[in-house]
Every structure is written in C-alpha cells, then in structure tokens.
Amino acid sequence: MPELPEVECVVRGLRVRIMRRSIQRVTVRLPRIVLGSPLDLAENLPGSTFEDIRRRGKLIIMNLSRGLSLLVHLRMTGQLLYLPIDAPLEKHTHLILHLADHGHQLRYRDQRQFGWLQLVETPRLENHPQIAQLGPEPLEISAEAFVRRIGARRRQIKPLLLDQTAIAGLGNIYADEALYRAKIHPLRRASDVSTLKLKRLHRSIQEVLREAINCSGTTVEQYRGVDGETGDFQGFLRVYERQGRPCGRCGRLIVKIRVGGRGTHVCPRCQRAPVSGS
C-alpha cells in the first residue's frame, strides 16, 4: 500500500490542485527521506513550476520547469497532502512544499518512513534505475502481450505479478483480488496456467484496477488522497482480508496462506491448489 489505483488517484488529485503552480520554498524536516542531497532539493525547487504530473507503476513523477523532475515513492504509509498553510502540522510530516501565492502547501507525511523523494534532471528520467527496470503498465498491455510475458515464466504466479520488473504497479491487494476473479491459485506456476486463464487474469487485473480507481482507491490502513480523503474500494473486496468469511461464489470459507512471504487470500474451492511438485 499504496498500489497503482491509490497512486493514480493521488496523481489525478495533484493535477487538479497544483498544475502550473510554482514552489516558493521547501522545508525538509527529515533529511533521510530524500535520496541524494536534501540541500539540492531545498535550493533548486524554489521558483520552479509544476508542468506535468504522472504515474509510472507506483512512482509519482512531477515534471518541473528548469529541466527538473521530482520523484515520489509512497511505499507503505506515505501520503501527499494538499493542505491550507494554517492546517495543523501533523506528526510524521517530513517535507513541505510551500506553494507561491496560493495559500496552500503540499506536505509529505510518512509514519513508517519507507517512502522517499528524489530530484533528478528530466532528460535522465528514462534511464533512472527506478524507472528503467519497470515492466509494462497493466492497464496498457494487451492480452496477447500479457500472455507472452507472464505465461513463459516458471515462477509462481503471485510473486511474479508482484515483481515490478514483470508488470508495474500491482501489489498484494490487487494481485489477490485479480487471481480470485480469474480462479487461479497464487501458488500455481505461471507456465502451467492455460492461455485462456491467463487472458482471464489479464481482464481481471484491468477490471479490478479500474474499479478501485473509480472508488478512489482502497484504505485498509493509512492511505489518504491529496485532500486527506479515504478510498472506498475496501467495501468491494471479494477475498483480500476476508479470511474466515464465505466465498461470494461458492460459500467456502476464504483462507489466508503465505506465498512468497506475503499474506495471501484464497478460496480453496474456486482457486484449486496445484498438485504437489507442479
């Protein structure tokens, strides 16, 4: 958390609120969340203007004037909050962008401090290691390309979906939800999944991501949108964190297992486990 839908919602919120706005000054309250020199951030951002804001995988990319870009990765508990300058300063607020002539600030808040920000030169973005290694976007890849890319791997299907070099943006919640919809057990090897089921998985991934975006994301812990609002998709989850509750399709109780070190939610009847050794 946050995953692709939550990051996409943050990006859309930022576009509405700060596009074409300029930065007056920067306050870095926790220097270690900045990759590189916090001083460079504080010296080079003031006076620059937001020209484009987009998402790549789970990464927020803010293109600024002067040939600079600000990268933000929220990781587990990061939040970008657009707040009035007189709003109380919440605990775990680690960086503040003071917006010129606007009466608002963009604040970065992160309780667990796993997220980060980095200032880079825009022409070097595509070669940046956090971007160059990313796989295709799940909402853009075709079903045929998805089958070729995923179906050729002998890895277990869920860890493969979580691998950002294989496909960018998926995390634990939406991998569980998509596999459940496609009736694929998360321990099954990708190469053992039929083409028909892989196409079904591709469709399920795109459906669940679009539905989550339309619901402003999923808030199961600390995700917040730019105005501090929570998401609504947690009310529509069919398997994630529903262990001990009946499957909506067959009535069997949802179980929680470990796959690749991650808590994973499965219907034992709808998602048949692979036989031993497969």
Longest dimension (CA), the chain: 64
Which one of 6, 55, 56, 58 is the catalytic residue?
58
Spatial distance between the Cα atoms of 105 and 97, rounded to a whole number of angstroms: 6
Active site residue 58: yes
Helix (H) or strand (E) holding 203: helix 195-214
How many CB atoms are located within 10 Å of the residue 99 CB? 20
Residues whose CB is less than 8 angstroms from the CB of residue 211 and which lie 6 or more positions away in sequence, other chains included: 233, 236
DSSP string across 108-167: EEESS---EEEEEEGGGGGG-HHHHT----TTTS-HHHHHHHHHT--SBHHHHHH-TTTS
Which one of 29, 155, 189, 262 is the catalytic residue?
262
Spatial distance between the Cα atoms of 20 and 64, rounded to a whole number of angstroms: 9
229 to each of 106, 156, 161, 186, how far by Cα in Å?
15, 36, 28, 32
> Given its phi and psi angles, is residue 8 left (phi above 0), alpha (psi -120 to 50 degrees) or beta?
alpha
How many CB atoms are located within 10 Å of the residue 89 CB? 11
> Given its phi and psi angles, is residue 226 left (phi above 0), alpha (psi -120 to 50 degrees) or beta?
alpha
Residues recorded for the chain: 278
Active site residue 177: no
How many CB atoms are located within 10 Å of the residue 233 CB? 23
Active site residue 199: no
Active site residue 2: yes
Give the residue numbers annotated as catalytic, written as ranges.
2-3, 58, 262
